[in-house]
Structure 1
């Protein structure tokens, strides 16, 4: 909130979207007239009533993001709307997030269908819930799939809200930054695994970044890794495991790749490493953070 305010954005354009708010943060929001926030439990509604009674609006988070946040729309959300009404809190609308890099297009359809159901519930109770936050987590390195997501969302908005006077916003942070960075790592060591006949079966490579650094998000797909070598490379590829640089035996990046026989000093490049990488990295074991180098691609 402080960073956005310092960028010149006024409080009435900021949403305090974390469903679980420390009191000190809530007090800061109140001081700067940041009046819209997100709630997903009755405890947050009581917290708003007690510590920020003059807040203008609350968004009911009606789509679960894993098991940590959100509420079950069919069983919990109507009760939250009724509780908000009894506490004399205004409700601006609904908010959902189907999860980062979600490839289930039907998840967006279901979420917007649920948002319309809650919109109608709010109408019956006298609320003008015309605010719909469709979340984020969109792929930033796959434009073709993003077009499919956009088409699905647009058609679902037309289907479920038609000409209703709603205001739709999104949270496309990942989309903007994911493809902005390519991580380049150097192979610092290797181990070749051979069978009883001495035939090479698999190779382990050790590189200068790992899961305590840029690879903290280990659920990524690294099948598009690129490699660069000044040496002649064989055509044959071998089962490959890539390890990070720390002394932690769990510092493994990936073990299901097939790469040619590379050498110490060769480079591995991982595209689409702009989201949830460097911002989460640490210097565990004294390993320095990667340097950021800017370049301009020539046409």
Structure 2
């Protein structure tokens, strides 16, 4: 590691120094703290986010990415994505305030929530945010009254029956209702400029994108017939954020590109957008969480096979975080996260049937069960990978702030890749000696990167 400032929350690392190495240093420091208090924390590899953006630009060159703030509103993520030129998709007033506070212009913000509060619509109107979504008459009427200058995007329903997270039961207008809604908007003097959809997260069939793009083409034609100037197609999200997903991002991109060539060919005058959350942040965040309590439960009547085995004992561990906090992703994704042991057990060490629970005293705060783990102790650390989506900054959904500390890391190579993309070439200067600061406020020296503490609480 090139260097670390404990007050900074940003670490510059050399190639070969992994997130796991940094976690080991931080957990060791937390365990040795004089106060004896330990708290869960994240390590975020911002270089992974930069690499995801380069991959996106290569695979979907015609699509302009917008980041879904509700997925992870940590300030380090927002600042890096802002540097990369992304727009931002906001679900409420708190998120709009947050991105505007870091300098995002209103023209790069979408208020993409079909269930908007009137006060939030008025905030968008006052602060120049004009692109809003809708999928029903009531939402259209609310915007027409509180933000008559808005440019509306009609959200259509999709076939997301095979997705892990289905949205069409709540959001999206059916094709049968679209002509009526477009006509209603015309009578209300509201401008409809485009169509959006969301196939849901974890969709195993990339052809769902192709079908939704075809449906959007039909709605474009309806709108044009009714006198709307349709020029925005929003592909929504649902893109995988981890390696090893059932459907790779490159496969989805190939299907999308083919469908766009067929229904919205290059030069047709339509601006193609997408609202991505998980894609950028899931794999970038790793969580370290402490075991705060344990309980051994023995079988009342063990079988003869169990009497002389370890199967007769089940161990219940309590963590300092549960499904009502950081692990709410368990509820979002209906998944059971598998921990990585910070201390590697010996090969002779037996494993026990184990379950992980949060600190809440109820039967719902179960993080994971059915695990086989070696004997753990109070104070041991567990590490969870792929924890960037719907874990950090969830308080923004309710106007709150994320309290869990995030330590951001970026390799020097990723930093240089980001800097070269953003700054004009300066052939007279040696990048090893002179590194210009980025507008986010981070500045690298020869040995370490220093900057402000980037936590949402610091700007609320």
Q: SS in structure 2 opposite 1:97?
A: coil
Return the alpha-carbon distance in structure 2 between the equivalents of residues 278 and 6 of structure 1: 19
Return the alpha-carbon distance in structure 2 between the equivalents of residues 54 and 291 of structure 1: 40
2:439 aligns with: none
The answer to whether the 8 A contact 1:36-1:59 is kept is yes
Alpha carbons of 1:290 and 1:24: their partners in 2 closer, same or farther (altered >3 Å)? closer
Return the alpha-carbon distance in structure 1 between the equivalents of residues 168 and 411 of structure 2: 38
Alpha carbons of 1:77 and 1:19: their partners in 2 closer, same or farther (altered >3 Å)? same
The answer to whether 1:120 aligns with 2:221 is yes
1:169 aligns with: 273
1:285 aligns with: none
Larger RCO: 1 or 2 (CA < 8 Å, sep 6+): 2
Q: 5+ residue gaps in structure 1?
A: 283-287
Moved more, 33-42 or 289-298: 289-298
Alpha carbons of 1:298 and 1:168: their partners in 2 closer, same or farther (altered >3 Å)? closer
The answer to whether the 8 A contact 1:217-1:277 is kept is yes
The answer to whether 1:10 aligns with 2:105 is yes
Return the alpha-carbon distance in structure 1 between the equivalents of residues 235 and 344 of structure 2: 47
2:200 aligns with: 99
2:315 aligns with: 203
Alpha carbons of 1:151 and 1:2: their partners in 2 closer, same or farther (altered >3 Å)? same
Task: Please state how far the C-alpha of 1:277 moved relative to its aligned partner.
Answer: 0.9
2:361 aligns with: 247
Alpha carbons of 1:250 and 1:155: their partners in 2 closer, same or farther (altered >3 Å)? same
Q: 5+ residue gaps in structure 2?
A: 1-95, 159-166, 397-401, 414-460
The answer to whether the 8 A contact 2:195-2:233 is kept is yes
2:328 aligns with: 216
The 4+ residue runs of structure 1 with deviation greater than 4 A are 233-238, 295-299
The answer to whether the 8 A contact 1:214-1:281 is kept is no
TM-score, structure 2 as length reference: 0.57
The answer to whether 1:59 aligns with 2:153 is yes
Task: Please state how far the C-alpha of 1:162 moved relative to its aligned partner.
Answer: 2.5
Q: SS in structure 2 opposite 1:170?
A: strand
Alpha carbons of 1:172 and 1:52: their partners in 2 closer, same or farther (altered >3 Å)? same
1:278 aligns with: 392
Task: Please state how far the C-alpha of 1:22 moved relative to its aligned partner.
Answer: 2.0
Return the alpha-carbon distance in structure 1 between the equivalents of residues 337 and 109 of structure 2: 38
Q: SS in structure 2 opposite 1:276?
A: coil
Task: Please state how far the C-alpha of 1:148 moved relative to its aligned partner.
Answer: 2.0
The answer to whether the 8 A contact 1:222-1:270 is kept is no
2:453 aligns with: none
Aligned pairs, number: 292
Moved more, 93-102 or 233-242: 233-242
**1:139-154 mapped onto 2 (5 Å cutoff):** 139-142=240-243, 145-154=248-257
Task: Please state how far the C-alpha of 1:233 moved relative to its aligned partner.
Answer: 5.0
Instruction: Identify which of 342, 360, 384 aligns with 1:228.
Output: 342
Moved more, 246-255 or 191-200: 191-200
Instruction: Identify which of 134, 142, 148 aligns with 1:47.
Output: 142
Alpha carbons of 1:239 and 1:165: their partners in 2 closer, same or farther (altered >3 Å)? farther
Alpha carbons of 1:181 and 1:17: their partners in 2 closer, same or farther (altered >3 Å)? same
Return the alpha-carbon distance in structure 2 between the equivalents of residues 234 and 208 of structure 1: 29
Task: Please state how far the C-alpha of 1:247 moved relative to its aligned partner.
Answer: 2.2
Return the alpha-carbon distance in structure 2 between the equivalents of residues 168 and 31 of structure 1: 26
Moved more, 188-197 or 149-158: 188-197
Q: SS in structure 2 opposite 1:191?
A: strand
Return the alpha-carbon distance in structure 2 between the equivalents of residues 231 and 43 of structure 1: 59
Task: Please state how far the C-alpha of 1:60 moved relative to its aligned partner.
Answer: 0.5
The answer to whether the 8 A contact 1:96-1:135 is kept is yes
Quote the RMSD (CA, aligned, Å): 2.8
The answer to whether the 8 A contact 2:326-2:391 is kept is yes
Task: Please state how far the C-alpha of 1:89 moved relative to its aligned partner.
Answer: 1.7
